[in-house]
Amino acid sequence: MDAHLSSLGYCSRSEAKKFLSKNLVCVDGVRVFDVRQKAYNNEITVDGERLDDECLVILMNKPSGVVCSHDDAGVLIYSLLPPRWQRRNPKISTVGRLDADTTGAILLTDDGALNHKLTSPKSEISKVYEVTLAEPLRGDEAEIFASGNLMLNGEKKPLKSAKMQIINPTLVRLEISEGRYHQVKRMFGAVKNRVVALHRVRFGEYGVEGLEPSEYRVINL
């Protein structure tokens, strides 16, 4: 019991005995005080609430100015999560990263195998961005992005085909299936434009419609 509660961030192992005395921890409805009690996750409740899932997958609408890192300076994305989730072991980590000034859909999970699967280039997960540009479109960008021939500086392979929908001359919706470093910004740099705002609308089938900046929800994958 003490190891399990600790791994989910409810308390440290050394605090488990005090936690059981201060909180109504039950196994199948029967209160327990012994930290050595064995039970499955779905049998345990704390103050009438079932335990958090053993593996969490979270969809967040990332706000601007927040950093996707455990170590860098600034406001870290994990600080937006409940303190209990911040203490989980293994740690919750972002699935890939968004730049500090990029907003929108990002997944976070403590399932390392799932994180690896979702970030693998083989996954080819669709990511949809709303891109605000410094200059009006010149007219050939959609064709260039869709060609599968665009080569970015320093890359050895061309980008895969991407779909661009024009909303107005300085606002587009771009769908890509890769996750190269600063890819969207570099794509528009390659066609002599500059991204001034970037918002990821959707990661795979998960979008942030209805989520305010900093809001999140647990999802099932």
Active site residues: 99
Dist CA 102 CA 106 (whole Å)? 10
Dist CA 143 CA 74 (whole Å)? 39
For 74-108, give one letter per residue: b (16+ CB within 10 A) or e: eebbbebbeeebebbeeebbbbebbebebbbbbbb
What are the backbone angles phi and psi of residue 86, rounded to the nearest 5°?
Answer: -70, -20
Task: Note whether 217 and 58 are within 8 A (CB).
Answer: yes
Residue 213 tokens, joined: 């900046």
For 40-69, give one letter per residue: b (16+ CB within 10 A) or e: eeeebbbeeeebbeeebbbbbbbbeebbbe
Give CA 124 to chain center in angstroms.
16
